[in-house]
Amino acid sequence: MGLFSIFGKKDVTDDITKSAPFRLTSELVPYKLYANKSSSASLMVRVKNLTNEVVLTSVVAEVPASISFDQMGMNKQREIRVGELGPQEEKQVRFDVYSGFKSEKGEYTMTLTAIAHYRDYGHVLNAVKKRATLNVV
């Protein structure tokens, strides 16, 4: 882009927007929640920068209606701002997931999204989504 060459800045958007900039892995400890009573588990999410540039990163997790990120059952989406990830750097974030009295038995699908930002957290360059399964017994 000619605009960046005027100000002497390198255009890194092509590297980030053409391919997946992150690798997401998740682990649930313990691996299940209990139905019709209050229980909790920790969702560990590892995000790795696959690009050769420093990327401003955030991780967003979403859960279905009967489970939540707080004990009252109100918070269905949570964002953690990771900060800048260097080239090939990996960080781990933790989400606490709770079941309650409205939780029925079954498998629930959670959505995990790692977002690459430009300048601040209001501008998005690229994102990677992953689905994770949570068992409620």
The count of structural domains within the chain is 1
Q: Is residue 120 part of a domain?
A: yes
For residue 73, what is the domain's CATH number? 2.60.40.3880
**Cα angle for residues 57, 62, 64 (degrees, 5° grid):** 175
Chain centroid to Cα 93, Å, comes to 8
Mean pLDDT in order along the chain per 10 residues (137 residues)? 50 67 94 93 96 94 94 94 96 96 94 94 94 95
Rounded CA separation 122/49 (Å): 19
Q: Is residue 17 part of a domain?
A: yes
pTM (two decimals): 0.85
Q: Which residue has the tokens 């997946």?
A: 20
Q: Is residue 115 part of a domain?
A: yes
Q: Is residue 5 part of a domain?
A: no
Domain hosting 20: range is: 13-136
Closest CA to 45 of 79, 83, 95, 84: 95
The pLDDT value given to residue 103: 92
